Amino acid sequence: MANIKIDNNKQQHFEKIKAENLDFSAVLENASKVKKWGLKTYLLNGLVCLAILGGLLALFNKKKNTPSTNKQEVKTELYGFAAPLEDHKVGFEQYQVKLKTDEPTEVMTKEGTKIVIPSQGLLNQDGSPVKGEITVKYRSFKDLKTIMQSGIPMVYDSAGVARVFESAGMFELYALQNDKLLSIAKGKSVEVQMTSNHLGDYFNQYYLDPETKAWRYTGKDTAGSVSFADVQVYEAALDVELQKLEASKPLMPKRVDEQKPFIKLNFNQKAYPELAAFKDVRFQIHESEQNFDADYAKESWSNVAINRALKSEIYNLCFSKKAREELCFKTTPVVSGRSFNTSKRMADKMLEQYNQKRAAIKKARAEAKRYLMIRSSELEAQKDSNAQEIAAREFIDTAGISIQGGRMVRANLSASPIRVFRIMGFGIWNCDFPSKVPNPVVSKLRLADQNGTILDAPRMQVYVVDIKRNMLYGHRVQHAEIAARYNNEDEPKNMLWATLGDRVYYYSADDFNTLEVGNAFTKTIQLNQMSAKSFVNLTDDEIFNL
Amino acid sequence: MFKIKKQLISEVDQIKLAQQNPKDFEPLYKKYFLQIYKFVYSRIGSESNAKEITSLAFTKALVNVGKYKDKGFPFSSWLYRIARNEINDFYRRNQKQKCSVVSTEELFHLKDEIDVHHDHSDERMQKLVVLLNSLEEDEIELIELKYFEKRPYKEIAEITGLSESNVRVKTHRIVQKLKTKNNG
């Protein structure tokens, strides 16, 4: 833990030091004791050490670069797209499940996506129905980084017009038995309830055809059909969730003052989640409490009630017995000196978790608000005043909504919107919206590294990414030059990423804002770089703050 | 005449001279003594210890100046790095808890970064100190370098031995953590 001391006289202190004579001779004398000024021995030793170190590093690197093969993983590559970061592909999650014969079999992935396989729904390669244990392989690509890592083309041909996908999430799914790929029976479909990080009712669903390697439109996204009312409910439920969370914000333990009165009680601590970190809890009589008398401890009490004012650190302890009126004392919860450190550590950890959860809810709420604002103005523009009400009523009728505190709340709210796919073939599916490739904004750029060396590599992949719309445009490098197209609408947030070997080069969001629009190759931009390993460990948000 | 000639020598040339003759290290010592002292004092909080550590750092710099190679960073970054190692040694030897000495003014910049209200009341500043005290030692070091001493990321990377992108990410994460705690 840090230890900050405030010293507002620091500057004066430095002025004083500056005025003192700087005695270099003492430094020179001390240095002379350590070293005679002949460097040859040191250099020779240094070279020998470096040679040994270099050899060890070479051995280490050789070992590290040897590709590892996972014998357990069965190849399911129907598509053969080259991942731009070869050693950092998005891995599959594998689940071993036993198929139920008379009801659907469910698989819940780590991220909360549910896969429902109908009974008698899978076929072997010879067309016979599958029974027994199968392996389900699943991976998803929901943010810009993983979409880039996938190498999957995000361009859609809409009646001859190229469009770029704005993504609400994409997944790849296979089922196998005895290392052989299974298929979905005709007339059956596997339901995938994919969690999505992006709100919106304008997305479609697409299947990436393994034969043609082109995206095929399969229908409107189902989450969108109840959109406005759904998001209203979602927002209301987030409010409730936030209030509930804030009421249980962990309190920071304080050490008991043994010199002052305190009360020790056996009570159900689970009913007070804000005290969960308190080990060996006691209630110290509050300093403002005038009514406490130690003699009360000599009496026998039949009941005690613990009441806490909302978000307060003061707990009212009320003791009662049949023959006498209730006695209440203001107290604060504390812990014994012996348990203080353990309780403090636990409370710090819980507070961090609390803050993370709170920030996530607030972020989701802000996004819901933004969506509702945009969608309301769209509906307003349509001048269809009844549409919103009808949609909301229909939704209330069908989705099992209850009214709590004057607001609509749906039970079992999921933290992320769910996009429901009913798939009839295994492979890659997405829930995306094909946006127009931005035309008007073009910057012609030459790419260089930090030393100014032009990056002229035919194998280099270049992407302009747009975090606001979760879009990624691929660009081809020709003679180290690209013509970057991108959106620069309200408050754009673009970056340029380039991958080459095991390095990722990037042009930060701040730098990107300074790019000039033009049709001549006038600008050479210097890209920062990092290892692919470091890059894939960052979130989109962190990458956009580089 | 001689003095004028000395002043015109570039830092790179001055380092080359010092590599040949230790006495030529003196101009570098005079140029950077106060900067390094400030750096050390802000992490030690005691004048006598700060002077001793600064002196040790320059002694080590002088002993090793022959090995110094210009990698495109300011010479001062190299000195800071040596001073940082001396500070770490000091705390290891004495088994003391590391401290950071800051002025209220130095805290303003960080305060504005994490608090949307830009409220510099004593109460809010006190809260900020409590938040900073909850950070780990390596975290507070990045905050010191970035917000109290306002060093560019590139230089922080050189001083701490981390990569520049790692410094950016770590600093961003710490500031996010402070923001969350501050507004929580």
pLDDT along chain A (546 residues), means of 10: 80 81 78 60 33 33 32 57 86 93 90 89 92 95 92 81 85 93 89 81 84 84 54 73 86 91 87 89 90 82 82 86 77 91 91 87 77 63 46 45 38 57 92 74 77 79 83 72 63 80 87 70 80 88 83
Q: How far is A1 from chain B (nearest CA, A)?
A: 5
CB-based contacts of A284, cutoff 8 Å, min separation 6? A254, A256, A257, A260, A261, A262, A331, A332, A333, A334
CB A284 within 8 A of CB A332: yes
Is-contact A496 A508, C-beta < 8 A?
Answer: no
Both tokens of A2, joined, read 């840090």
Torsion, Cα A69 A73 A76 A79, to 10 degrees, reads: -40
Contact B100 A18 (CB under 8 A): no
Q: In what order do the strands lie in the sheet with A518-526?
A: A481-485, A442-448, A518-526
Q: Are residues A193 and A269 in the same domain?
A: no
Q: Is A445 exposed, middle or buried (0-12, 13-18, 19+ CB in 10 A)?
A: buried
What's residue B54's pLDDT?
93
Enumerate the β-bridge partners of residue A231: none
pLDDT for res A253: 93
Residue A542 in contact with partner chain B when CB distance is under 8 A: yes
User: For position A485, what pLDDT does the model report?
Assistant: 65
B180–A356 C-beta distance less than 8 A: yes
Return d(Cα B28, Cα B76) in angstroms, integer.
9
The amino acid occupying position A8 is: N
> For A128-134, which contacts have Cβ atoms below 8 Å and span 24 or more sequence positions?
A129/A185, A130/A99, A130/A175, A130/A177, A130/A182, A131/A99, A131/A101, A132/A98, A132/A99, A132/A177, A133/A96, A133/A97, A133/A98, A133/A99, A133/A177, A134/A96, A134/A97, A134/A98, A134/A99, A134/A175, A134/A176, A134/A177, A134/A182
Amino acid at A308: R
Angle subtended by helix axes B26-44 and B75-94, to nearest 10: 40
CA distance A546 to chain B (A): 6
Residue contact B34–A1, C-beta within 8 A: no
A286 and A189 belong to one structural domain: no
Query: For B103, which of A11, A354, A528 is closest by C-beta distance?
Result: A11
Q: Which of A370, A398, A430 is the last residue of a domain?
A: A430
Identify whether residues A445 and A533 lie together within a single domain. yes
Chain A nearest CA to B170, separation (Å): 9
Q: Which residue is listed with tokens 């402070």? A: B178
Closest C-alpha to A482, from A467, A500, A499, A463 = A463
Query: Can you say how many angstroms the Cα of residue A82 is from the centroid of all Cα atoms in its chain?
Result: 26
Would you call B67 and A354 a contact, using CB atoms and an 8 Å cutoff? Answer: no
B184 → closest Cβ in A27, A355, A542:
A355
A545 touches chain B (CB under 8 A): yes
pLDDT confidence of residue B40: 92
Q: How far is the CA of B66 from the CAs of A255, B15, B18, in angstroms? A: 55, 9, 8
- Chain A residues whose beta carbon lies within 8 Å of the beta carbon of residue B91: none
What are the backbone angles phi and psi of residue A73, rounded to the nearest 5°?
Answer: -85, 125
Q: Which helix (H) or strand (E) holds A315?
A: strand A315-321
> What letter does residue A408 receive in the DSSP assignment?
E
Can you tell me the distance from the alpha carbon of B28 to that of A412, in angstroms, rounded to the nearest whole number? 68
The pTM score is: 0.48
Chain A residue with CA closest to B45: the answer is A5
Q: Tell me if B34 and A355 make a contact (CB, 8 A cut-off).
A: no
Residue A529 lies in a domain: yes
> Inter-chain contact B136–A354, Cβ cutoff 8 Å?
no
- The DSSP result for chain B, as a single string, is -HHHHHHHS-HHHHHHHHHH-GGGGHHHHHHHHHHHHHHHHHHH--HHHHHHHHHHHHHHHHHHGGG----SS-HHHHHHHHHHHHHHHHHHHHTPPP-EEE-HHHHHHHHHHH-TT----HHHHHHHHHHHHTS-HHHHHHHIIIIIS---HHHHHHHHT--HHHHHHHHHHHHHHHHHHHH-
Q: What residue in A sits closest to B100 (Cα-Cα)?
A: A4
Which residue in the set A8, A46, A352 is minimally distant from B103, CB to CB?
A8
- A512 vs A484: CA distance, rounded Å: 11
Considering only CB atoms, A3 lies closest to which of B55, B98, B105, namely B98
Q: How many CB pairs under 8 A join A and B?
A: 127
Answer for the pair A543, A495: CB distance below 8 angstroms, yes or no: yes
Q: Which residues in chain A are contacts of B22 at CB distance < 8 A?
A: 28, 31-32, 37
**Residue A272 is assigned to a structural domain of this protein:** yes
Q: Which long-range contacts (CB under 8 A, 24 or more apart) does A215-218 make?
A: A215/A156, A215/A157, A215/A165, A215/A430, A218/A429
Using CB atoms, pick whichever of A11, A39, A530 lies closest to residue B66.
Answer: A39
Q: Is A297 on the interface with B (CB under 8 A)?
A: no
Which H/E stretch holds residue A283? strand A281-285
Q: Which domain covers residue A484, as residue numbers?
A: 438-543
Tell which residue, A233, A160, A538, has the closest CA to residue A402.
A233
Chain B residue with minimal CA distance to A542? B169
pLDDT of residue A226: 40
Q: Which residues of A touch B181 (CB under 8 A)?
A: 351, 355
Specify whether A181 is located in the same domain as A275: no
A27 and B29: CB-CB below 8 Å? yes
- Answer with the one of A403, A430, A457 that is the final residue of a domain: A430
pLDDT of residue A307: 87
Chain A contact set for B41 (CB, 8 A): 10, 13-14
User: Residues A27-53, buried b or exposed e (16+ Cβ, 10 A)?
Assistant: bbebbeeeeeeeeeeeeeeeeeeeeee
CATH code at A501? 2.60.40
Nearest Cα residue in chain B from A356: B180
Of A441, A462, A454, which is closest to residue A518 (Cα–Cα)?
A441
Torsional sign, CA A159, A164, A167, A171: positive
Enter the tokens of residue A213.
């390697």
Q: Which residues of A touch B87 (CB under 8 A)?
A: none
With contacts defined as CB-CB under 8 Å, which chain A residues touch B170? none
Cβ within 8 Å, pair A30-B140: no
* Cβ pair A528:B165 closer than 8 A: yes
Contact between chains at B180 and A24 (C-beta distance less than 8 A): no
Q: Is some CB atom of chain B closer than 8 A to the CB atom of A46?
A: yes
Give the integer Cα–Cα distance in Å for A20 and A26.
Answer: 14
Q: Which of A10, A29, A251, A356 would you mutate first to test chain B, the one with the most B CBs within 10 A?
A: A10
Q: Does residue A527 fall inside a structural domain?
A: yes
Residues written for chain A? 546
Query: What letters, b where the CB count within 10 A reaches 16 and e where it falls short, cover A115-152?
Result: bbbbeebbbeeeeeebeeebbbbbbbbbbbbbbbbbbb
HSE-up of B1 (CA within 13 Å, CB side)?
0
Residue A367 half-sphere exposure, CB side, CA atoms within 13 Å? 18
Nearest by CB: B133 against A1, A8, A24: A1
User: Where do the domains of chain B lie, and which CATH numbers do they carry?
Assistant: 2-94 (1.10.1740.10), 104-183 (1.20.140.160)
**Which has the closest alpha carbon to A29: B59, B54, B26?**
B59
Q: Do A538 and B169 touch (CB under 8 A)?
A: yes
| Residue B143 and residue B171 in contact, taking contact as beta carbons nearer than 8 Å | yes
Q: Of A436, A421, A428, A429, nearest to A469 (Cα)? A: A436
* CA separation for the pair A135, A107 (Å, rounded): 11
B153 token code pair: 């990321």
Among the three residues A430, A452, A468, which one is the final residue of a domain in this structure? A430
HSE-CB for A105 with a 13 A CA cutoff: 20
What pLDDT score does A46 carry? 34
Low-confidence ranges of chain B (pLDDT < 50): 1-7
Are B102 and A534 an interchain contact pair (Cβ–Cβ within 8 Å)?
no
Q: Which residue has the tokens 């507004």?
A: B183
Q: A2 and B140: CB-CB below 8 Å? A: yes
Query: Which residues are CB-contacts of A408 (< 8 A; sequence separation ≥ 6)?
Result: A232, A233, A236, A396, A401, A402
Distance separating alpha carbons of residues A158 and B100, to the nearest angstrom: 61
Query: What chain A residue is nearest to B103 in terms of C-alpha separation?
Result: A8
Of A24, A30, A528, the CB nearest to B26: A24
User: Using the beta-carbon criterion (under 8 Å), do A4 and B55 form an inter-chain contact?
Assistant: no
CA atoms within 13 A on the CB side of A504: 27
Same domain, A98 and A192: yes
B134 CB neighbour count, 10 Å cutoff: 16
Calculate how close chain B gets to A9, using CA atoms only, in Å: 8
**What distance in Å separates the CA atoms of residue B91 and residue B102, rounded to the nearest whole number?**
18
Can you tell me the distance from the alpha carbon of B162 to that of B138, in angstroms, rounded to the nearest whole number?
Answer: 12
State whether residue A407 is helix, strand or coil.
strand
User: What residues in B contact A14, CB-CB < 8 Å?
Assistant: 34, 37-38, 41
Q: How many structural domains is chain A composed of?
A: 3
Cβ(A260)–Cβ(A285) under 8 Å?
yes
Q: For A139-181, how does the pLDDT look when each residue is reduced to its tens digit (9 = 90+)?
A: 999 999 999 999 898 888 777 777 888 888 999 999 999 989 9
Q: How far apart are the CA of B79 and the nearest CA of chain A, in angstroms?
A: 14
Residue of B nearest to A344 (CA): B134
d(CA B63, CA B127): 44
Residue numbers in B near A528 (CB within 8 A): 164-165
Cα–Cα distance measured from residue B176 to residue A261, given in angstroms and rounded to the nearest whole number? 41
